[in-house]
Amino acid sequence: MAVSAKWYGQAVSSAFTKKINFTSDALKVMLCTSSYVPDQDNHQFQSSITNEVVGTGYTAGGAALSSVTFTYNSGTNVWTLDAADSVWASSTITARYAIVYDSTPGTAATNPLVLYVDFGADVTSTAGNFTITWDSAGIGTITVS
């Protein structure tokens, strides 16, 4: 599945106030059910997230993103956050949302949210891989104008 993402509004504030360092902090992705209601304006920390999935092959808090890059293209004035695709092997889970957050601070009350993905419908794996194929243009972009 190819996905696109929406930034949490507070992610930029978190980056500017050194709560997120995209080049050195550990970013994770967690999955939520369709009962979660994203709030781009008010959700700032992992503790704001509700209805995380539960199932075989899934660990609470999600999975670490690997090969994370945060790069700037001066020709287009675009910052791009990207990582390798995320896979939960041999899993039985149903998810509607993927939430990317910075796990470096260490507690749900201090882990800043970055962005979320709405799959558009529930996505299910049954004793197989649950894979997020991040968009080829990156997980998320920010245009500087």
- Rounded-to-integer distance, Cα 104 and Cα 35, Å: 27
pLDDT tens track for 119-131: 999 999 999 999 9
- What's the pLDDT at 145? 87
Residue 143, sorted as left (phi over 0), alpha (psi -120 to 50) or beta, turns out to be: beta
pLDDT tens track for 19-75: 999 989 999 999 999 999 999 999 999 999 999 999 999 999 999 999 999 999 999
Pick the more confident residue, 2 or 34. Answer: 34
Using CA atoms, how far residue 23 sits from 1, 35, 93, 94, 95, in Å, is 26, 32, 31, 31, 28
- What's the pLDDT at 4? 65
Provide the residue range defining the domain that includes 113: 2-143
- pTM listed for this prediction: 0.95
- Rounded-to-integer distance, Cα 11 and Cα 80, Å: 14
Count of domains in the chain? 1
